[in-house]
């Protein structure tokens, strides 16, 4: 407990809890809130403009117009169009990671968790398909390297791998290398996304997710005298 003293007068005691103090989240300043809001506005506007025109033709003037701000305001938050593009990519991948983790955790049973993983990614790509086409077609410094892609996916894949390992140990599926299988599922899902973009598929994401699940699950299911993978 802390006793406050002011000009020799003892004021009422103020309880002090160091644990509560450390646990209490710091309040964001008004400037921080405005800054985050403005960055999000710019990122959302840029995604729309890049999807409409591509990176090369997506100019800063149009991004500013889409966001309803002055062009100079963009440069208070981003140094270049490339930086804006990468911010869109990072924002979307972070959102995808969060939604994928939530859907994996909400699913019960390994089969449903695999389906949740594939469907979350397929639906996300469908919702942002024009921007995803740009992401796949751009070259050089704008492309996402395989290591960057894997880093964005690492947590959802490891969450899926944990579910595979748990099911394997409980004897619900075959004994398999869990992380290897989880990354294989991620790569198959990415391949499906790329095919959908190239072919401009009209197949609903849920249908492709079911196709993947029906292809993957038999290789995990228990079979008599099945060799380990």
- How many whole angstroms separate alpha carbon 62 and alpha carbon 184? 40
d(CA 112, CA 73): 45
Per domain, the residue ranges of the chain are 33-79, 88-220
**9-10 and 5-6 strand pairing:** antiparallel
Q: Which DSSP letter does residue 2 get?
A: B
Within 10 angstroms of residue 76's Cβ, the number of other Cβ atoms is: 12
pLDDT for residue 26: 61
Q: Cβ neighbours of residue 105 under 8 Å, at least 6 residues apart?
A: 159
Distance, CA of 87 to CA of 38 (rounded, Å)? 13
Q: Give the pLDDT confidence score for residue 227 in this predicted structure.
A: 47
Would you state the pLDDT for residue 65? 92
Estimate the crossing angle of helix 81-106 against helix 129-137, to 10 degrees. Answer: 120
> Residue 104: what pLDDT?
97
Q: In the prediction, which pLDDT does 6 show?
A: 35
- Report CA 178 to chain centroid distance, whole Å: 22
CA distance linking residue 96 with residue 103, whole number of Å: 11
pLDDT at 136: 58
> Tens of pLDDT along 36-61?
888 999 999 988 888 788 777 778 89
What does the pLDDT read at residue 5? 41
Residue in the structure block whose two tokens are 């299911």: 221
* pLDDT per position as a tens digit, 126-144: 888 776 666 655 555 555 5
Give the pLDDT score at 151: 80
How wide is the angle at C-alpha 17 spanned by C-alphas 15 and 18, nearest 5°? 140
- What pLDDT does 90 receive? 85
Q: Choose the CATH number for 88-220 among 1.10.357.10, 3.30.499.10, 3.90.660.10, 1.10.3210.10.
A: 1.10.357.10
Q: What is the pLDDT of residue 134?
A: 65
Taking each helix axis from N to C end, the angle separating 146-169 and 110-127, rounded to the nearest 10 degrees, works out to 160
**What was the pLDDT predicted at 194?**
86
To the question of domain 33-79 being in CATH 2.60.40.1930, the answer is no
Task: Please choose, from the candidates 133, 136, 131, 129, the residue with its C-alpha nearest in 3D space to the C-alpha of residue 204.
Answer: 129
List average pLDDT for each run of 10 residues in the chain, which is 229 residues long: 41 44 60 82 89 79 92 91 87 88 96 97 86 60 61 91 96 94 95 87 92 95 59
Structure confidence at residue 13 (pLDDT)? 45
Neighbours of 162 (CB within 10 A): 15
Q: Is 102 in contact with 159 (CB distance < 8 Å)?
A: no
CA dihedral 34, 40, 42, 48 (to 10 degrees): -150
Distance of alpha carbon 24 from alpha carbon 158, whole angstroms: 30
Q: Which helix (H) or strand (E) holds 10?
A: strand 9-10
pLDDT at 144: 56
The predicted structure's pLDDT at residue 78:
92
């Amino acid at each position: 407990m802390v006793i406050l003293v002011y000009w020799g007068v003892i004021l009422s005691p103020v309880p002090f809890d160091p644990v509560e103090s450390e646990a209490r989240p710091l309040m964001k300043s008004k400037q921080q809130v405005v800054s985050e809001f403005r960055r999000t506005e710019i990122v959302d506007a840029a995604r729309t403009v890049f999807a409409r025109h591509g990176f090369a033709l997506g100019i800063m003037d149009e991004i500013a117009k889409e966001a309803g701000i002055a062009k100079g305001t963009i440069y208070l938050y981003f140094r270049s169009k490339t930086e804006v593009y990468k911010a869109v990519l990072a924002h979307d991948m972070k959102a995808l990671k969060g939604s994928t983790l939530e859907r994996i955790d909400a699913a019960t049973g390994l089969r449903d968790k695999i389906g949740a993983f594939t469907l979350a990614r397929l639906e996300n790509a469908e919702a942002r398909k024009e921007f995803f086409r740009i992401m796949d077609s751009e070259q050089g410094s704008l492309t996402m390297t395989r290591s960057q892609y894997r880093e964005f996916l690492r947590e959802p894949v490891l969450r899926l791998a944990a579910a595979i390992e748990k099911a394997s140990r409980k004897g619900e599926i075959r004994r398999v290398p869990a992380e290897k299988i989880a990354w294989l599922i991620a790569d198959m899902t990415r391949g499906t996304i790329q095919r959908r973009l190239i072919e401009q598929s009209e197949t609903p994401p849920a249908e492709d997710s079911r196709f993947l699940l029906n292809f993957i699950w038999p290789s995990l299911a228990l079979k008599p005298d099945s060799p380990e993978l």
